[in-house]
Structure 1
Amino acid sequence: MKEEILKIITDYYLNSGDFNGFPLYNFDKNYTDLICQLIDEDKVEVLSSAFVINPHIKALKLNIDKEDQKREVINNGDSVVLYPTEKYLKELNINSEKPFTKMLLDGQEQLKILFFDIEILETYFQDPRYKVFWHDYRGSIVVSDEFYGEDLESEYIKDFGLGYHKEKLYEERVVGVFLGDLAELSLNAQLKWKVNYLENQQDYLINEGFYKNLILGEWVDEVSIYDAILDEMIVINKMCENMGIPHLFNKTYKPHTFEKPEDYRIMFLPTLKNYYSFILALEKIIIHNINYKTFTTTAKYIKPVERKDDKGNLKHSLNMMSEWLKQNIRTNEDIDELIINPLKSIRKIRQVPAHEIYSNQYDKLLYKKQNEMIIETYKAIRSIRLFFANYPGNKEIEIPEYLITGEKIRIY
């Protein structure tokens, strides 16, 4: 009878479709003693609402003491669910062509995070049949609406997270995905991910925000520096309204959402092509987005500047901004060094792919260059907001607390 009980629990796990545990209440008789023996023999393990929120899936490896497991069975506690152990399942040597489904068949936990070469994401970003939604430290992959229903191997990843090498950290980015999501992919899709599977899994860790949010269910109050720039731009435009001048930025974007310009994000693959695409996006959002009418408008306490120089040529927006800021703001700071030069460097780098033929290169140092560029850009935009805050009435404008303190702004 003990073997029959073990078979019932095992068959239920393997054939449930979602690798669910067998509820204790499904037995029509009391098999407490036999189940406890199976627990002692490392063939059955117990989850219950006393241990986890949802005992019907084996989400995480918990290593619950056997005596505690048996106590739940004896007391017939709420939501007691039985599973074949990983040790027992491996002894069965169940075959499957799908590598990640095989891991669940062997009893591994559904929320186990597996790490892959980040290059796997480029295959989706470069393929218009897919949409990759990215937000700070996590994202998802879906099939584009116009291709939905076609034979795309059911490639849907509900959640993937940014990971790092434990020693190299930001020098080596990887992608982490839940085993449960990978196991639902088709054979071809699983094999594609398997090619990018990192052998030394123990050398990598997932981003703290991803772990807190999706594993622990905690609220993550840190903000990406990319979103911080967009928030600063919104505040600056509100200040312009109070100052009686046109918005400094012709367009603002929605921070903290997936609705952000393409390539305005961290690079997943450190290539020159991706770096220049990022620079182009940054130039469009900041430089090309500057409204020269802000500088030519007369308002209370504000002196405008001329649109043309002495020779009758139109001035560039950044030159106008430099002249306008120096004319209207009294400060010991070097405005060009603080604001103008970092923004001009964006335009300077952008000139390379715009006017030269270049060879694409793979270079992990580009991660560092991108981080340095976004930091300097943020400092410049933040400085504008700080200068504008001194205008009468602008201190009354609501500013997100994290922008004021700067404590929760992160570079992922």
Structure 2
Amino acid sequence: MQTNTHLALKKETYVIEEVLEEIQNQYFGSGNFNGMPIYRLADNFDIESDGFRSAIRAGIENEIITATFHGNTHIRAFSGFKKEQLLEWFDSEKYPAHICLYPHQNVLKGSKLLDKYKDSPYELELAKGAGQLDYRTFDLSVLEYYRNDPRYSYETDFIHGSISIESEYFESELVPESDQILLKTFGFAYDKDFGRYVAVFIRYLSDLSPEHQKVWAAKEIKGDIKLHPDYYASSIQGSWGTKISIFQAFVEELELINKMSKLIGKPELFRNSYCAQRPVEFGFLLRPTVSEFNDFVLLIDKMMSDNINKKFFEDDVPTESDEERDDGKIIVRAKGTIQILESWVNKYFHPQDPEPIDQMMMTFKKVRRLRQQPAHKVNTNVFDQGIFKKQRELVIDAYDAVRTLRMILANHPNVKNNPPDINERLFKGEIWDI
């Protein structure tokens, strides 16, 4: 003889099986793996009854279905909530309100409907119940293909980034349709040792063509890897972030120095601030090789020493020197930009603590020395994870050098009386160096 409890459980099981069928039809038929709002089940179920509500709760508890309660509930943003948390929300939220139901991952993993997505690894992950804003992390080298291919627009501030096919190649016979992709946003992430990775939300990975999804899947790295704090803040929390990247800060310092140069009544100290168009290679390395590091050193020296405008120093310090040859003849030689800069700073600026200036000049010389090294010896294209750290240290030193130079010019009376606008984060030193 069946008890009332057994009858209730049997009825609950019957109800949840019927509900699950409708939820799965919605989930796979929506095109975006959307949830089923409880209120849309009102045509076939008495959704306000205690029995129905009890059946839904039991479905969550038994991991047959799951639910979303906050924000845009029609998409499952995250998949990591424990059922205890879901049940707490279910019991405390206004019912049915906008609660949306989904098939649980335990149910989805056995669905024959997954075969449709077998060639698209990240669309398959969504189909199996991953959250739209769950993220995956990848080796940095996955970005090289897009950065180095002129058919793609590759943009990043080294916190956020995006990739898209250039307009002239969109729907063009010159590029296969599978390569005409858009990655709306990517960011960066770090492990506990500050190893650096690319991070992408599964929603955007799933929008790639099947061919490109497989490329990314081959580069995926698993582990305890956390999103860059500002990428998390802007993408998940909807804030503007807290700092700017050191590469953006670097070119903004060059721009400020040039503005101050004009206020002083001189030509711009740097021939190009690169603020309007920062070189795409001016950023953290995508592959830790000697060759990539040497290319970066060459670029940063071009942006520092090679970029100095000698006309700024005319009438202040000599830009040429006289040298006597063995035969007694005098030869006029042009001084190097670092030598000229050092002479000018030493002539006009005498701080109580000379260390920052000494450090600034040492960095200019260090970058030039590193640039000259590859010219005098043959380097194999060695792969070394330590190069990431070496580059980061160089970038920090280079930024400190141009910032010190900006602060030197800021002491000129013309600049003090009419200072240019300075990015508040730059002024406060709120800069990410990771």
User: Partners in 2 of 1:335 and 1:410 — Cα distance?
Assistant: 21
Alpha-carbon offset, residue 307 of structure 1: 2.5
Alpha-carbon offset, residue 123 of structure 1: 2.4
Alpha-carbon offset, residue 337 of structure 1: 2.7
Say whether the 8 Å CA contact 2:158–2:187 is kept in structure 1: no
Q: Which runs of 5+ in 2 are unaligned?
A: 1-13, 324-331
Say whether the 8 Å CA contact 2:255–2:275 is kept in structure 1: no
Alpha-carbon offset, residue 109 of structure 1: 0.7
Say whether the 8 Å CA contact 1:325–1:335 is kept in structure 2: no
3-state SS of 2:73 partner: coil
Matched, 1:372 2:393: yes
Q: Tell me the percent identity.
A: 30
For 1:87, the equivalent position in structure 2 comes to 106
Task: Map 1:208-357 to 2 at 5 A.
Answer: 208-254=229-275, 259-297=277-315, 304-311=316-323, 312-332=332-352, 333=354, 337-354=358-375, 356-357=377-378
Counterpart residue identity of residue 287, structure 2: L
For 2:5, the equivalent position in structure 1 comes to none
Alpha-carbon offset, residue 267 of structure 1: 0.8
Matched, 1:56 2:74: yes
Which range moved further: 207-216 or 181-190?
A: 181-190
User: Partners in 1 of 2:92 and 2:397 — Cα distance?
Assistant: 59
User: Partners in 2 of 1:323 and 1:10 — Cα distance?
Assistant: 75
Distance 1:286 1:20, change over 3 A: same
- Greater Rg over alpha carbons, structure: 2
For 2:326, the equivalent position in structure 1 comes to none
Which range moved further: 116-125 or 328-337?
A: 328-337
Say whether the 8 Å CA contact 1:39–1:45 is kept in structure 2: no
For 2:182, the equivalent position in structure 1 comes to 156
Which range moved further: 124-133 or 240-249?
A: 124-133
Which range moved further: 54-63 or 30-39?
A: 30-39
Deviations 1:361-383 (A, max 9, x none): 11111111111111211222122
User: Partners in 2 of 1:52 and 1:213 — Cα distance?
Assistant: 19
For 1:300, the equivalent position in structure 2 comes to none
TM-score normalised over the length of structure 2: 0.84
Counterpart residue identity of residue 151, structure 1: P
Deviations 1:227-271 (A, max 9, x none): 22222222222222221111111222327xxx4112111112111
Distance 1:35 1:339, change over 3 A: same
User: Partners in 2 of 1:334 and 1:239 — Cα distance?
Assistant: 23
Deviations 1:63-114 (A, max 9, x none): 44325326658x331x332211222212435333222222111111111111
User: Partners in 2 of 1:105 and 1:335 — Cα distance?
Assistant: 56
For 2:214, the equivalent position in structure 1 comes to 191
Counterpart residue identity of residue 200, structure 2: V
Deviations 1:183-205 (A, max 9, x none): 2222222221121122xx34222
User: Partners in 2 of 1:53 and 1:370 — Cα distance?
Assistant: 41
3-state SS of 2:320 partner: coil
Distance 1:260 1:8, change over 3 A: same
TM-score normalised over the length of structure 1: 0.88
Say whether the 8 Å CA contact 2:183–2:207 is kept in structure 1: no
Say whether the 8 Å CA contact 2:45–2:52 is kept in structure 1: no
Counterpart residue identity of residue 189, structure 2: G
